[in-house]
Amino acid sequence: MAAPFIVRGFPMNDYEYFKREIYKLTSIDLNCYKERQMKRRIDTMIRNKKFETYEKYILAMKQNPSVFDDFLSYMTINVSEFYRNPEQWVFLEKEVLPYLFQKFGKNLKIWSAACSTGDEPYSLVMTLAKYMPLAQIQILATDIDRRALEKAKIGLYVDKSIEHVPTDLKKKYFTQVGSNYKIKDEIKNRVTFQRHDLLKDPYPRDCHLVICRNVLIYFTEDTKDALFRRFYDCLIFGGTFFIGSTEQIMDYKEIGYQRMNSFFYVR
């Protein structure tokens, strides 16, 4: 019998077992992620935590909720910051929002998908507040990672996270707490946070604006295509989809999108 093919110290046939067990535990299908990239990330984590095999790590997850939560937090990519890629937020403010206001008015249904620690939905609230009363703004923000959602609800950020926030908005909507910055309740109260799995949970319907940025790059091409189609379906006709600077919708015309620019697509 041939020896199993080994990558980064763990046998590939054992990784198939690991994927099956993770699906049983979490309903997360690791087959939807780029395998080499995800396996390398998981192998590094397991080795750093001193587990010798996938089987021992799975057993630890079943026995210890903190190990289980650590896994979910580690495998979800929580790199986020306020007004990430500022030039795209300028386009959103100067081109996309006026288009949406003219077409739908200012009572917009907005979904921030894979919102991580809340930087993007809070950025959007501060942007919208320039053009309407805060009481009129309501954003649904979702993520699969419960820990990220808890951080988002607390709203405490390091200086690096808010470096792109305009000075006037920083003074208006943040309070310095030691070396950190806490976003004010008047912004926090405009966002509803919920746990949501992009791969299996229902999507909201008739959204005017959906933001999902720098997340889909970790999925396989087939999975990305399926998700881009699900986002299309959740938009109202004329609604806009805002993606990240690392992403592109190759077959956007075939799905039905019209492109405003490289990062904004209209149903």
Please report which confidence band the pLDDT of residue 5 belongs to, taking 50, 70 and 90 as the band edges: very low
Residues paired with residue 176 on neighbouring β-strands, in sequence order: 181
Structure tokens at 252: 């956007």
The single residue listed with the structure tokens 């609800």 is 153
Q: For residues 62 and 183, state if they share a domain.
A: no
Look at residue 148 and tell me whether its pLDDT is greater than 60. yes
Tally of domains in the chain? 2
Q: For residues 214 and 123, state if they share a domain.
A: yes
Look at residue 45 and tell me whether its pLDDT is greater than 90. no
pLDDT at 185: 96
Mean of per-residue pLDDT scores for the chain? 90
Domain boundary among 44, 75, 106: 75
Look at residue 71 and tell me whether its pLDDT is greater than 70. yes
Domain membership flag for residue 161: yes
Q: For residues 45 and 154, state if they share a domain.
A: no
The CA R_g of the chain, rounded to the nearest whole Å, is 20
Structure tokens at 14: 């054992």
Query: Beta strand 264-266 with 235-242: parallel, antiparallel or unpaired?
Result: antiparallel
Question: What is the helix (H) or strand (E) element at residue 142, kind and residue range?
Answer: strand 139-143
Phi, psi (degrees; rounded to nearest 5) at 266? -115, 135
Q: Residue 215 sits in a domain of what CATH number?
A: 3.40.50.150
For residue 260, the enclosing domain spans 86-266
Q: For residues 19 and 94, state if they share a domain.
A: no
Closest CA to 26 of 74, 69, 77, 60: 69
Domain membership flag for residue 80: no
Domain membership flag for residue 81: no
Domain membership flag for residue 22: yes
Q: Which residues contact 159 (CB under 8 A, 6 or more apart)?
A: 179, 180, 181
Q: For residues 125 and 65, state if they share a domain.
A: no
CA distances from 168 to 164, 173, 205, 260 (A): 11, 9, 35, 29
Please report which confidence band the pLDDT of residue 6 belongs to, taking 50, 70 and 90 as the band edges: very low
Q: For residues 120 and 213, state if they share a domain.
A: yes
Contact 167, 153 (CB under 8 A): no
Q: Which residues contact 4 (CB under 8 A, 6 or more apart)?
A: 11, 12, 13, 14
Q: Which residues contact 7 (CB under 8 A, 6 or more apart)?
A: 36, 39, 40, 43
Domain membership flag for residue 130: yes
Q: For residues 92 and 195, state if they share a domain.
A: yes
Please report which confidence band the pLDDT of residue 179 belongs to, taking 50, 70 and 90 as the band edges: confident
Q: For residues 103 and 200, state if they share a domain.
A: yes
Q: For residues 38 and 69, state if they share a domain.
A: yes
Domain boundary among 14, 41, 75: 75
Look at residue 199 and tell me whether its pLDDT is greater than 80. yes
Q: For residues 64 and 116, state if they share a domain.
A: no
How much is the average pLDDT of 94-108?
Answer: 98
- Predicted TM-score of the model (pTM): 0.79
How much is the average pLDDT of 243-256?
Answer: 92
Domain boundary among 22, 52, 75: 75
Look at residue 161 and tell me whether its pLDDT is greater than 60. yes
Query: Beta strand 139-143 with 191-195: parallel, antiparallel or unpaired?
Result: parallel
- CA 223/CA 241 separation, integer angstroms: 17
Other beta carbons less than 10 A from residue 94's beta carbon: 9
Q: For residues 69 and 161, state if they share a domain.
A: no
Q: For residues 110 and 233, state if they share a domain.
A: yes
